[in-house]
Each structure stands twice: as C-alpha cells, then as structure tokens.
Chains A and B, each alone.
Chain A
C-alpha cells in the first residue's frame, strides 16, 4: 500500500472543504483533499445550485403557461408551453458539471491535490483512502480538516426507494409527477414543492408542526402561505406521516394522521420526504479518532478545533446553521489558522435565504427573538408594493415587505427580514449592515439606487425612525 504524508488533509470537497483546500494551497501548505461524491459537495451537486436551476426553469414555465392562458401585459402565447423534463435536467446537470469542473481547476491552481476516493480513519491523523480506481493509500497528516457535511434524514417507516424520494432524487426526475406529496414544509420541501407546482404538478404538503417554515415568524411566512393558497397547494399542518403502501397504476399511497388524530390517506406519483438533514458521522472512521461530540455533531470551539490537537471540523458536521456560506467561512478560516494566522469564527449573524415563492431572507434577530433576549426594540416594516421597481416586476400583489429590527436606545440594527420576489439578492446588504454594526441612521443616510429593491431597506429604516417617504408615517408612540 502506498503511504503518503502531508501538512493538511481535508476530507470532504463541499463548500467547506474545497475553499479550505484552495486557501491552504494559496498559503503554501502541502494539502490533499479527499472526496468521493464529486467536488462541490451537496451544494453544487444535489443542493443549492441544482435546485436554483430547477426553480428558475419552473418560474419561466409558469410565466409561459400564464401567457398561454391569457394576455399577460400584452404578451400571450397561442399554445401551452411544452415541457421536456429530460432536457431540463440535462440543462441543470450542465450547470453543475461546469461548476464542479471549475472547483477542480481552482484547487489545482492553488497548488492543492485532489484525490477522488473514500477516506477511512485509523486514528485521528491517519486514514486509508480507497480511490475510485480501487487503489489504497495511507495518508498521515499533521493537520486534519473534517468537512464531511450532512445527509438527508430518512424516515425509518418509509425509507427512500420506489416512489419515496429525497431532495436528491427530486432534482433528477426525468418525468414530471402528476401528483406530488411533500412530507415536511421546511425550506427544502417548500422550495422543491413550489417548483413542481409551477411546472404544473399537483402538490400537497404534510407537515408535523402547526406552521410552515418554523424558523421564521408568521408575518414573514404569510406571503408564502398566500401563494400556496392561490395556487391550490394543499398544506396539511399538524399531520404526521405514518407509512406508504402500494397504490394503483404504480402509484403510492401515503398514510398520515391528521390534526385530529384520524388516519388519512393520499395517493401520489411521488412522495418527497424533506424532513431535514443530519451530520454525516458514519462510515469514515470517526469512532477511531477519539473526538468529542456535541449531540449529533462534532464538537468544536470558535476556531473549529476539535478536542484533538491538529484536528479541525467545519460546516454541516459541526452543527447549526447548516449553511454552505457558513462552511466556506469556516474552511477559509481553518486553513489560515493552520498557516499560523490568528482567526476566529465570530459573525454577528449569518444570513439565510429560502428560495420559496416569494423568497425569504433573514439575518440576525426577529423582533420576538430580540425581546426574548431582553432588548427593547423598534421595528420598521416597508411593504414592497410601495416600490416602483417591485411593481415593474409584476410582483406588487404578493405581500412582500422588508422589516428591520433595531435596539430602541441606540438604534443599532439587530435583525433584518424580508419576503418577496428576488429579495434573496438583498441578503448581502443586510448581512453587511448587521456585521458592521450599522444603526438605522446609517441605512437611512446611505443613498440607495432608484429604482431597485434596495430602496425598500432604506425605507424600512426610515419607517423605524418614524418618517418614511413612500408610505404614510406610522403613528408615533
């Protein structure tokens, strides 16, 4: 067996691992990154990117369908658009392979080495990599970075297979399901369920909790609920999936307990289980490394150090929030720490986005969360229906808004939330504002470009200060 040694060994090539490899390479560290399932990880191959491609295509299809049904601001189509799911998936796969190929080149250009294979640790600093060619290599590293990511949670009583699918398969269907049941109305289930609804699929949600998107308050989720209702998507809350049985014509039947405890059934072509993700802790020798766990995640400190000297863990495997951009920030940081820089993971807040219809973006505290922390807050809510740019995108009726939450005494912004068409692109300014410690006056005093949605942020700050321009000032007190 070939034996190798290196300064930095990174296991997992997702949005945590690959930036760590690039940065470590840039810093002149002798770096190897091992990845089995394709560079880019869940994010590039079967998560963020392919789902955004699907959502974009679905939205185009929806617009064309609307034009076929009737005149849409003077634009109409004489017949229904045709959908070739195979070609759609192929287009999406093209984007994925372009990006993953780009990652491989970036790693190489930075001077790091990529080994396609599966790592299995013998101890904290040594692993055996079985390459895709079937060869075994023993690698001993001075520093190890674990970036093994997360996997979809499966329900034990209805495992993936046949018509029961997870988000990965939902992005690979070459035939459009006529009826889709989505178990779980969190952001993954909603994003995919809404995309399929736009493609013309009949969609039903089964959610165990009493609300959709439980991480956001009801004010934020209301526009999504409105969209679902308007598009005849059945949302069954406080309902528990129980199991799946064979139906007619190759269909499946989901059995669930409704809010009153009665057993119900629903037939569907596909049943998408989107009940969350869990850290990938199995199958790569974690048990031989002697690391401490924090619940179902690897325990790390603010520098992503595990209990073992020279062993770091980053991204989904170390816990919430399970977000690609958090993993990337930690990956870069760890590479720099190994190179001797002083770094710490200390964001004030990490923005999160849901590509639902309409989109949701949140950074920092909601008013309720701030109050629970003992803060006295003021808020400013600006309805995007009062934005010219918003109306010009034909989005004025979706209930979108920007809401800013600030501390009452010094006006420091504690959180910003928005819901609406294309608001995900506002996330950068929101995060910057919170990270820089901006006050309401800073946002109000920054000239925002007309006509863009960013004006909505400035107006929300003005609203909190009591003198918005494009809506009637809220009553003082």
Chain B
C-alpha cells in the first residue's frame, strides 16, 4: 500500500485558486483512474476533475465553497501499487498505513436524503399528479409557473388552490385554522457558492463602483419584423430561425465604431480605457445554474445567419453547461434580453469592466400617428441601455442608441 496525494490541479491559464463546488466521492470510497471525483469553479466555468490513480480515498481536504490554492493537497488516496513518482509523492508517505475503508464506522446515510424542494430547469415538465394536471387544465393554468411545495417540487392541490386564490400570484399561506391546514415554520439557509457567488460578487462590485446612466428609447420595428418574417419564411434548411437579437447585434457592429468608448473595458483603478475595434458581443443567458454570458466573437465579421447560428449554438452550450471558459469570456459589450417574457423597461447592471449593456424589452403592437395624422398600428419595442457614466457621456450614449434605432427602423441600411 502507498499513499497518493492529489493536489488541486492547475485548471487553466493563470488560475491560482479554485472553489470547490462538489465532491463526488467521500472518504472510504474506492476510486478509479479517470473517475470524475470533483467539480471546481474558476472564473465562470465549472471544471470536472478526474482522479489520477486507482485506490481508496482516505482523506478529503476542503468542503464545497472553500477556495483553495492550486497545488494544495486536497485528496489522499491509498493505492495498492507504488505511488506514481512524477507527482512528487513524498518518500515517507508509505510509512503511515492508511486505514482500510472497511473499518470505517458506518455513517448515517446522508446521501439517501434527497432535497425536499429541488429547483428544476425551466421548461422541464412540472411534477404533478394527473388530478392536479386536470384541474390546472380546467382553470387554464400553466403548471410551469405554479410553485410546488411537495417533495421534489411536486405541485399539490394546495399549491394550485393558493395559486388560484391569489389570482395567479403566489400567496403566503397563513397558519392555523382548519385541521388540514397547518403553519409552516421551516427556514432554509443555503450556502451561496459556485456560479451564484460569482454572480453576487460581480454584481455588487459593478453596482458599487460604477456610476451608470440609463437611457431608454422606443424602436419602431414594424419594417424589421416584416423583413424578419420574410427571411424566416424563405430561409434554407441549414439556416437557423432568426430572432430579433441577431439584428441588434448587426446594428451594434455598424454603430459602435462611431462611439468606441461604449465598446471598451475601463479599469477605474489604473485609469485605463481599452477600446476594441472587434465587437465581441456577450449575450446574457438564463441557465439551470444561473446567469451566464456566452460571447459571440468578432460579430463584426459575421453575417446575420452566422450571428444567429452562433447565438443558438452558444445559448445551448451554456444551458447544457458545456460552454468553454473561452466561450464565456472576452466580451466587449453585452446584450440582455428579457423581452420574450415581457417588461417595458430594465436597468441592467454593467458586465464590468465593459462600459455598455443593452437590454431588449417586449415588442407590442400599439397605435401611433402616421405622417397624415391617422392612427395606425405599429410594432414597437423599447431598448433599455446602461452606460458607465465615467466614460460614456449622456450625449454619446444617446447618439449611439439613436444610430442603432435608425438602423433597426430602416433595416435595409443594416445590410449596406
């Protein structure tokens, strides 16, 4: 028997520390070479760490949430053969005979306890019995929006009652009263780790350090929508369906050269503004793990179809958790779109160190006056943008958005 000491590996360029997200083994487990034993988080990507040897885990160092320096010994494995030399196995290691796994006292089976309410990815079929599903159908309620309080997030009859009673809003259930209904007293404390902690840190820093200016403008997308519908109707099979976003990306690639300070990174401590000719457009995406921002690289070199393909590929990769670190970094400007859900205005927080972020709001058909004073239906959409006011003046912000508006309202100019 010998001992192998597994060190926090160097998981990427320039990474000096990584956060433990989840151990997939526990002390006493038998591990095999290449077995996925650990998830760590660096920057924005979660990395799966494989084991290097066959053996039995004798000790784990670090719990989920701990940030550990690269090179720290984090897992001790008793191996049957000699420890591999290349990993600087200490010569004195075999002295201490590791305890055989079998002698470990049987621990209460924590793993058998599944979480009582687990958040499931959006779009997944809600968990509910046939009777609950039938009632929801009768009441024309989409169960996907009803919060479930049952095991594994199952939607119960009570959940549905609450939802209906509150007119579609989640009601706080009050305690007491009938024998069937009872007070709920559970309080859940959750350690914020991994991607969520990363999001929290970034948001706080941006909001604390950047004085921003918001600017909202209404865009008439009637002509653009006609063009989009036409392109979608006549696209070839290998071309993706076009949404609004690719057109906005295209408009930004045309407009940003006139306002280069809005396609830039600003380091407020060093007082250095780095302006980019390339437009690397980050697209905020909701994923099962939280907010991620995959990046369309060199959008200025892509045509509308290429932008759309890249957008859909990256969106899927982010949702599946398969986006690479490279695909999740390097943006020079960010787009955030909640328009499909609704909403008139947003004040997005800057994706620091970027100096501009553009929010897409919902499109709606509204009455407007035409040139002859007649009321006509127009398709309108708000663009909500925020800028780093230390770098981008209100005048420049307005000019950029007006240029984008002009391009989107006269879609032919997008392609000139």
Contacts and interface: CB of A to CB of B under 8 A. Distances in A.
Interface of A: 342-344, 346, 348, 374, 409-412, 435-437, 439-442, 465-467, 475-477
Interface residues of B, number: 27
A440 B29 CA distance: 23
B107 to A, nearest CB: 9
A441 B151 contact: yes
Contact of B129 (A412, A437, A467): A437
A432 to B, nearest CB: 9
B118 A374 contact: no
Identify which of A342, A410, A436 gathers the most chain B CB atoms within 10 Å of its CB.
Answer: A410
Given A374-B320, A437-B152, A410 B115 contact: yes
Interface in B97-141: 109, 111-112, 114-115, 118, 120, 125, 127-130, 133-134, 137-138, 140
Contact of A477 (B29, B115, B118, B151): B29
Contacts of B30: 475, 477
B112 A412 contact: no
A168 B154 CA distance: 45
B25 interface: yes
B114 A441 contact: yes
A467 B109 CA distance: 9
A364 to B, nearest CB: 12
B165 interface: no
Interface string B253-293: 00000000000000000000000000000000000000000
Nearest to A378: B111
Interface in B222-272: none
Contacts of A442: 151
Contact of A410 (B29, B109, B114, B128): B114
B29 A437 contact: no
B414 to A, nearest CB: 37
Given A346-B133, A437-B128, A477-B29, A467 B153 contact: no
A435 B130 contact: yes
Interface of B: 25-26, 28-30, 109, 111-112, 114-115, 118, 120, 125, 127-130, 133-134, 137-138, 140, 151-154, 320
The dominant DSSP class at the A interface is: loop
Nearest to B137: A342
A412 B134 CA distance: 21
A409 B118 contact: yes
Kindly list the 6 A-B residue pairs having the minimum CB-CB distance in the complex, ordered from nearest: A437-B127, A410-B152, A411-B114, A410-B118, A477-B29, A465-B112
5 contacts: A342-B137, A343-B134, A436-B129, A475-B30, A476-B111
A466 B152 CA distance: 19
A42 B157 CA distance: 39
Contacts of A410: 114-115, 118, 120, 151-153
Contacts of A342: 137-138, 140
Given A410-B114, A412-B127, A477-B30, A439 B109 contact: no
B147 to A, nearest CB: 15
A411 B120 CA distance: 12
A460 to B, nearest CB: 15
A188 to B, nearest CB: 30
Given A466-B111, A477-B30, A439 B152 contact: yes
Contacts of B127: 412, 437
Contacts of B109: 465-467
User: Among the interface residues B30, B125, B151, B153, which one has the most CB atoms of the partner chain A within 10 A?
Assistant: B151
